[in-house]
Each structure stands twice: as structure tokens, then as C-alpha cells.
Amino acid sequence: MTNKLKPTDPYAAAGVNIEAGYTFVDSIKKSVNATHDKRVLGGIGGFAGLFQLGSKYKNPVLVGCTDGVGTKVALSQANNKTDSIGQDLVAMCVNDMVTCGAEPLFFLDYFAASKLVPKSHAQIVKSIAKACKLSNCALLGGETAEMPGHYVGNNYDLAGFSVGVVEKAKLIDGKKIKAGQVLLAIESSGPHSNGYSLIRSIVKKKKPPQSIVNALLKPTHLYPTAIKELTSKIDVKGMAHITGGGLTENIPRILKNGLVAKIDLTAWKFPKIFQWLQDSGKISQIDMLRIFNCGVGMVCVLDTKDVEKAQKILKKNNFKSFAIGSIKKSKSVSQIEYS
């Protein structure tokens, strides 16, 4: 029997283009599938992503992280540069994850827009896939939603979710941090994905040259590969991913009571983009340190004897690193001190 029913597509009349959704999925399949290995069962298009953990771990602990890119999305849209925003999304999740010694297993993305534009929006998902590949992480699935009337104009937003695993005996939880150990900083690529509401207000007032905007839109560094090698060769006592709250709030998160991180502000110079933000926004140094990463994307706590070896590993992975201070005993309520 022939189906004589012909769709009139009332959904399109309401502002949702189903055909654009099909085109979008088709255009990202190759990039998504390129992140899969034998641990992924099935491919894109199912109702759920399947990942086989295998027998590598004796006592595995699963680790979950979720994050977004914040208003960096708005700055990237305003400058028609969205081809690397996907790396920001992946990095903000997997960089959190590796601080406990976990390796990323898979990633899921949520992309919601007022109107789906397959060609340009596919570039975002392709950049997510590329970042997953660089992090040895499968892009296992995701959700794309077209929501006219909810998002204004041609706006969109992103969210990411990642799951990783760590052997329980190798979990890094900061419990081995003690006085005398060194704080080794790993460089950031810029503000990463934090502080952009303030950044955008400064940009709006100062109207900087394109070189400054480009520096502000640099994608967040991906640390998993470097950290995996570092933790496999060195007994890292603790790690802090420097995101919103800067050094001031993030380092104390891994310290036990009675310990303080003493930071030497002469140990490094704020990169030019942070100098521009500080000068243009008339921001005090103490506020810079509690808002931005100021050139420090990750901090590792190590024994003094391991610092040189750690720096060689990081250099091999194309990251600059520098000692910025040490752990001290203190009865102070504040667990961070600057000098």
C-alpha cells in the first residue's frame, strides 16, 4: 500500500527546520567517528552512546565533569570566529578531570541555537571532535536543539559533559601535599574561557585592535596528554586547574587545613593580553589574581627533586612551566599568600 500522506511541515512554520538538522548530522559524522576506537560500540545516530571500559583497570573510579564556555561564545560570534570554540568546551571539562589523575574516556556535547545553520554550526562540532581526538577522548554523542523564540536573534549556547577513569590507587586528591613542596605552573594560552563578561565590557569600551581580540579568542590549552605523561613518571601530589576565581580561589581547593600556598609574584610576568586587560580595565593586581588565570593554566604540587624532570616532560609536550611558589604551614584562615 502506498503511503498517500504528505507532510505539510508545520514545524518549519514554527521556525524549526528538520531538514537542516539532518544535513547538520550528516556533515559532522566523519569528524565524530574519527574520535572513536574499539572501545566505542556502535556509531553516531543511536539513542545512547556505548563505551566499553575493558579490563585495563583493577579498581576503576569513574570521574564526571561538566562545563560551558560562558560569554566567550558571544565574543566569538561578534567577531565571526567560532571555529575553535569547540576546543574551549572540551578543554574546560577534560582539564578539570585530569587534576585527579583521571584520563578522559568520552565526551558529550549539547548545542542549542535559535536557528540551525548546518555549515557554520558544523564547524563548532568539528572543533569539538578535533579537541576530543587531541585529548584521546571519544566524542560519544550529543544533542542539537533548534529553539526559535527562546534564543534571541542568531544566538546559541554550548555545554559539555565528560567521563573519565582513574585507578583508585592512583587517585590524586591532595592528601599527600605538605609543607616544602613546590608549586609548578603550566602556562595558559590566554584567559581560556573565564572572565569574559568583564572582558567583553572592556572590549566594548576600548574597541581594541584585532590583534588583541585574536589573543582573547585563543582556544583554551588542552592539558590531558601532557598531564598523563607527567603523572605516569612523577608522583604529583596535587593539581589545580586555574579557571574562574583565578589563582586565589582555585589553589586552596586542593589544600588541607593548616597549609598555605605562598605565591611569588616576581616568578613570572603577566602575559601581554593580561597586561592589556589590567591597564584598559583599571583592574588592581589582587583583582586580576582572583578573576583571571594571569598566564597560569594549571598548577602542579611536586617535591623539589621532581621539578626539573617535570619541566622537561612539559617542554617535550610544548608547554612552558615555571615555579611560582611553595607550600607552607600556617594557621591563617586564608590558604593563599602573595609576596
pLDDT over 70 for what percent of the chain? 88
User: Residue 27, CB half-sphere, CA atoms under 13 Å: how many?
Assistant: 18
- The CATH number for 10-170, chosen from 3.30.1330.10, 3.20.20.140, 3.30.70.100, 3.30.70.1400, is 3.30.1330.10
Minimum mean pLDDT among 139-143, 184-188, 256-260: which range? 139-143
Q: How far is CA 324 from the centre of its chain?
A: 22
Same fold, 10-170 and 182-338: no
Higher pLDDT, 147 or 223: 223
The CA distance from 220 to 218, in Å, is 7
pLDDT digits 0-9 by tens, 274-305: 999 999 999 999 999 999 999 999 999 999 99
Structural domain spans, the chain: 10-170, 182-338
Q: To the nearest whole number, what is the mean pLDDT of the chain?
A: 90
Name the percent of the chain in helix, strand, coil, to the closest 5. 40, 25, 40
Question: Which pLDDT band, with edges at 50, 70 and 90, does 79 fall under?
Answer: very high
Q: What is the mean pLDDT of residues 240-249?
A: 96
Give the neighbor-by-neighbor strand order of the sheet with 60-68: 60-68, 156-167, 103-113, 138-146
User: Residue 266, CB half-sphere, CA atoms under 13 Å: how many?
Assistant: 1
Residues with Cβ within 8 Å of 142's Cβ and at least 6 positions away in sequence, in order, are: 108, 109, 110, 111, 125, 128
pLDDT of residue 1: 47
Question: Which pLDDT band, with edges at 50, 70 and 90, does 173 fall under?
Answer: very high
pLDDT of residue 23: 60
Contact of 329 with 259, CB cutoff 8 Å: yes
Residues with Cβ within 8 Å of 284's Cβ and at least 6 positions away in sequence, in order, are: none
pLDDT of residue 52: 85
Q: List the Cα angle 140/144/148 in 5-degree steps.
A: 170
Give the global pTM. Answer: 0.89
The CA distance from 211 to 208, in Å, is 8
CA nearest neighbour of 233 among 326, 302, 135: 302
pLDDT of residue 193: 96
pLDDT of residue 235: 97
Grid cell of 231 as nine digits = 603523572
Give the DSSP per-residue string, 186-252. Answer: EE-SSSTTSSHHHHHHHHHHH---HHHHHHHTPPPPP-HHHHHHHHHHS---EEEE--TTHHHHHGG
pLDDT digits 0-9 by tens, 299-336: 999 999 999 999 999 999 999 999 999 999 988 889 99
Strand 336-338 vs strand 259-263: parallel, antiparallel, or unpaired? parallel
pLDDT of residue 42: 73
Give the neighbor-by-neighbor strand order of the sheet with 259-263: 238-241, 296-302, 182-187, 321-329, 259-263, 336-338
pLDDT of residue 195: 96
Is the model's pLDDT at 251 over the cut of 80? Answer: yes
Give a three-class secondary structure readout of 104-131: EEEEEEEEEECCCCHHHHHHHHHHHHHH
Domain 182-338: CATH class, spelled out:
alpha beta
pLDDT digits 0-9 by tens, 9-61: 655 554 555 555 556 556 556 666 677 788 888 766 667 778 888 878 899 99
